[in-house]
Amino acid sequence: MVVSRGRPGGPLARLAAGAEVPVFVARGLGAGDTEARLLGTSAVRVVASPRQATVLVVAGHVPPGMAEPLARVHDQIPPPRVTVWRTGAGAGALDAIRAAWPQATVVGPGDDVAATVVHAYREVLLGRRPTEQPRLADVEPAEWRGVGPYGQGGSGMTGGVPYGRPMAGRADDLRDGLSLDVVRVRMGPFLPAFPTGLVLAVTFAGDVVHAVEVDDLLTPGDGGLGAPLPDDAADSRGDPAARPVRIDGLERARCRHHLRWLARLLRLYGLEALGRRVALMAAAPVPEDIAHLRNLHRRLERAWVLGRVTAGVGVVTGDAAAQWGGVTARAAGLAVDARSGSPAYQALGFAPVTHEAGDGRDRWRQRLAEATQALELAGRAGDATVDDDHIEPAGQPAPADLAGALGTALTGQEWGDALATVASIDPVVHPGAGADRPARAEAAA
Amino acid sequence: MSVTPAWAAVAGVAGAVGAGVYIAAVADRAVGATVAGERGRAGRALGGPFRAAALWLVQGRATTERPDARAWALAPALYLGLAAVAVSVVPLTRNVTAVDVDAGLVLFGAAQALAVIPVFPNGWSSNSMLPLIGAFRFIAEALSYEMPNLLALLSVSVPASSLALGDIVTSQHHLWNVVRIPLGLPLFLFAGAGLAFWGPVDLPDGADLGGGTQAETSGAHLLAWTTGRLAMLFAISAMGAAAFLGGWLGPVLPGAAWMIVKTVALLVVLVSSRHLVARVRPERYVVISWAVLIPLALVNVIVAAAVSL
């Protein structure tokens, strides 16, 4: 139910049309640089909750499993609301979205998404475009199945499932022995700090994570919409048709990926303005930006509180770090990097950067150091190329047992720390939530 | 103790809170744009709060599944009301105070301590997970803010031998409390930011909870909630200026101008913290509060007593 107050086109709405546009970004698969572009636009404010947005921006491919969560996010935006969907130019991707979401504005990878967002926002506030109707019916998520005066139903105080949700159960406490009620909650897939497409079923005891399971919403199938955007720096493999791959392009993509990651992490710690600054740097880093990156690194190292709140959080070392591989392993001191074996990289004087502690702080230090190193390599690389076996993906690969690895990392942590851990590892989740990386399989095929 | 007509007191407090909220919103935007490296945004910062408020007023009110609608609607009004009570006891000049009571310090402290009453239902009433965690966080931590906040405030009453704010300002005639009791102001501001859950201590409404107690709030409700938080920051700044920076005391300029300058300076410091300092971890904050801040605040009271001898 929605109570509408202001009239689009009225004096209040005309004043509001000049406001910074509150945008909620729903990242699908292959969201590319959409979020970073919006973060880097001063006329736009990226918000943490759909309730505070007016424009919903959907980026990339939304598989069928994520369609209902996306509709739910859409309906949580208070009217007046509009949707802008940015998709890659896959076969019929634009037309399929227009058919399924007739109210949305669809843009391709080459269009200016920020300008489209601002335009759509003004149109709806000035009454030149209708506000979007809800996508889901306003009904109870599950029918009333409670029995008795308190509705608990079933047998015993906590036996029933009124409205389809179990009452809080009990479990031994992991922290201080005080046994608390446990509640199971699904987190994701559009939580802003979460990796794209990750859905965790978290069992909470108080605010402590008791257990986590990974839900897979990414399985491809009928009903998926949109196509991944071409600039998905997480894979940073470039055009599969163009082999071997130029190092300078690869390394610049790595720098972009790490900076986008950093912008999101800073926002998680409440540093929105600094996140915006980093997103601006992430737009198109060139080797001349190395000095700016070093400045940023010094500035963050001097930020005493940021160091304190990230140190010791989400420690992943030893065998666990080896299981993750990638950035997480290097942040724990393991010099595992596919580039080490490449003659082309060796000729550029490449040696993997590593850190020691394997905690949240060393992971942002690691990513920042790798971003700087990537720009240095890009500047020196000239037209050098690398073969497929020696491409190190910029994104953190998900291990075969993603659920187990996340469970080890998160169990027993307070929710804020658990989320910070997930955000700082930021695995690239693939269909099957842990199957081997399909990008590699495609490239080999 | 002079008696102010009720209408004048209400209009004065409303005007002061309105101006304070506007200045805080502008400062927030201006500092944010500077940290983000955006130049030439100052003009937009001045009009920005009005445009954002207009959007919130235009927005429809979306509701959740089975909310406690009455408690939800009451929460922001209550929070704003507490901020207004806190502002009302702070003297603008020697003769101008909206509510001139003998124990102004106690009334201010009471308004601060009651902040927990509106924050909890704001998170609880929406019947949603993340706001609920935010609400419980505040319950768990409110005492860790309130203790150093009240102890820091208490220290200024010792040299003045009074709980009346007029006496406290007058007692700083030779030396401001920020110099005489140096730990007081930082402790007061830090704990005060916690009670307004702002910046590094924005735990109930933090980004890790998707906005926490306000994650399900939109439209006019969000406007009221945001206004309440900024008003609370303004109340803390005004009290900080009166209790630690000598209030209306100062050369050349009239007393009211000094009070305004000092209040705005503290307000800018508080608002800027959001852009400069990362959010702390909830569990660590409680430990730091009880192991470091509260003992320091007790030492501060003893120091205040010693220098008053």
Boundaries of every domain in chain A: 11-125, 141-167, 168-215, 245-397
Contact B216 A309 (CB under 8 A): no
Contact B60 A140 (CB under 8 A): no
Residue A435 confidence (pLDDT):
37
Distances (CA, A) of A148 to A161, A162, B182: 12, 11, 61
Residue B28 reports pLDDT greater than 60: yes
Give how far B29 is from chain A: nearest CA, Å.
Answer: 9
A198-218 burial, b for 16+ CB within 10 Å, e for fewer? bbbebbbbbbbbbbbebbbbb
Residue A394 reports pLDDT greater than 70: yes
| Lowest mean per-residue pLDDT among A115-129, A137-151, B45-59 | A137-151
CATH C-level class of A11-125: alpha beta
Residues of A in contact with B138 (CB under 8 A): none
Is A201 an 8 Å CB contact of chain B?
no
ipTM score of complex: 0.93
Residue A234 confidence (pLDDT):
58
Is A218 an 8 Å CB contact of chain B?
no
Residue range A88-111: average pLDDT? Answer: 88
Residue A252 reports pLDDT greater than 60: yes
Do the beta carbons of residue A16 and residue B54 sit within 8 Å? yes
Give how far B16 is from chain A: nearest CA, Å.
Answer: 24
> Among partner residues B136, B137, B207, which is closest to A48 by beta-carbon distance?
B207
Residue A438 confidence (pLDDT):
34
Residue B57 CB: number of other CB atoms within 10 A?
16
10 Å CB burial of residue B186 (0-12, 13-18, 19+) is middle
Cα distance between residue B185 and residue B156, in whole Å: 10
Contact A273 B58 (CB under 8 A): no
Most confident of A193-207, A290-304, B199-213: A290-304
Contact A274 B284 (CB under 8 A): no
Contact A416 B47 (CB under 8 A): no
Residue A437 confidence (pLDDT):
34
Mean pLDDT of chain B: 91
Is A311 an 8 Å CB contact of chain B?
no
| Lowest mean per-residue pLDDT among A147-151, A424-428, A436-440 | A436-440
Interface test with A, best of B56, B208, B273, B292 (most A CBs within 10 A): B208
Is A138 an 8 Å CB contact of chain B?
no
The SS3 of residue A36 is: helix
Cα distance between residue A355 and residue A378, in whole Å: 22
> Among partner residues B44, B218, B283, which is closest to A52 by beta-carbon distance?
B218
Give how far A290 is from chain B: nearest CA, Å.
Answer: 17
Residue A3 reports pLDDT greater than 80: no
The pair of structure tokens assigned to B267 is 């307000």
Residues of A in contact with B218 (CB under 8 A): 51-52, 78
Contact A15 B51 (CB under 8 A): yes
